[in-house]
Amino acid sequence: MNRRKAFGVIAALPLALKSSETLAGGMAVVYLVGDLPRAIAGQTLRIRFLVLGHDMVDHLWNGFDAEIHLVPRSGGDELIFTVPGAKGDGMSVGMYSTEIVVPDAGEYKWYIRPGSWAPTYFPTLVVHESDTGASPGDEFTLVDIGQNGFQPVSTTVTSGGTVIWRNTDAFSAHQVTWTSLDLNDSAPIPSGGEYAYTFDEPGTYDYYCGPHPHMTGRINVID
Ligand SMILES: [Cu+2]
C-alpha cells in the first residue's frame, strides 16, 4: 500500500510541473478564422487564427510567437511550425496568419500554442494526397473564386456530384451564400482555401458572396 502510494506521487510529479508551467500566464484561447482550407500533402496550407485572452481582444497579447503542432495519428514525428507574433503592431490585434507545408498525407491531432500558454486543440486535420481530396472515381467540378467573381458563373453537375470552390483571390476571403434556406452556407473561404458541397437533389441553386453580393453564381443539378 505504502509502496503504491509513493509510486503514485513520483508518477504525478512531472504532470504537476507541466500544468503549473502551462497555466502560469493566465488563459488564452485560439480560434481559427474562417474554414481551414483543404490540406494537401506538399502544398501550402494557409492558417489564420485569433488569440484571445480571457475571450477578449487585447492588444497586450500581441508580440508572442505561436506554435502549430501536428501529431500524426499513425505515429511518427510531431511537426512544429513557429508563427511569429505581431511584435507590437496595434493593427493586428491578436491575429496571426501563416502558411505551412505538411509533407505527408494522413490524419493529425493538432493544436496551437500561443506563446507559453496552454494550447487550444482543433478537430483532426486530414491531409489529402491529391489536389481534389476526393477518392479516385469521385466526380467533382471546380469553381474558381477570383477578382472577377465566380468562374464559371453557371455550373452544371449530375445529382450526387460535388462542387469545389477554390479561392484564388490573394486579397480577400469570399463566401458561398445560398439564396435558398435549404442549403448550408459556407464560412468565409480564406485566400487559397476551398469549400466543397455535394448536391443530391436535382434543381437550380443560386448563390452569392456574403461580403461581396455583386458576386453571384448558379449550380444546376440534373438527374
Ligand atoms: Cu466575395
Same domain, 86 and 171: no
- Within-domain flag for 23: yes
C-alpha cell at 42: 506538399
Mean pLDDT for all residues in the chain:
78
Q: Is the pLDDT of residue 56 over 50?
A: yes
- 175: CA distance to ligand 1 center in Å? 6
Q: Is the pLDDT of residue 182 over 70?
A: yes
User: How many domains are there within the chain?
Assistant: 2
- 214: CA distance to ligand 1 center in Å? 8
- Within-domain flag for 166: yes
Check residue 138 and give its pLDDT.
Answer: 56
- HEC states along 66-94? EEEEEEECCCCCCEEEEECCCCCCCCCCC
- 43: CA distance to ligand 1 center in Å? 24
Strands 120-128, 39-40: pairing kind: parallel
- Within-domain flag for 119: yes
* Residues 107-152: tens digit of each pLDDT: 999 999 887 778 899 999 999 886 554 444 456 889 999 988 999 9
Q: How far apart are CA 31 and CA 34, in angstroms?
A: 9
- 25: CA distance to ligand 1 center in Å? 39
- 193: CA distance to ligand 1 center in Å? 13
Q: Is the link from the previous residue into 72 a cis peptide, with omega within 30 of 0?
A: no
Q: How far apart are CA 95 and CA 93, in angstroms?
A: 5
State whether the Cα torsion 7-10-15-19 is positive or negative. positive
- Within-domain flag for 35: yes
- 109: CA distance to ligand 1 center in Å? 31
C-alpha cell at 40: 494537401
- 215: CA distance to ligand 1 center in Å? 6
CATH number of the structural domain spanning residue 111: 2.60.40.1930
- 118: CA distance to ligand 1 center in Å? 35
* Residues 66-110: tens digit of each pLDDT: 899 999 999 989 999 998 775 544 333 477 888 899 999 999 999
Same domain, 147 and 188: yes
- Within-domain flag for 134: no
Q: Domain of residue 53: give its range.
A: 8-128
Cα three-residue angle 153-155-158, rounded to 5 degrees: 170
- Within-domain flag for 135: no
Same domain, 170 and 88: no
Same domain, 116 and 202: no
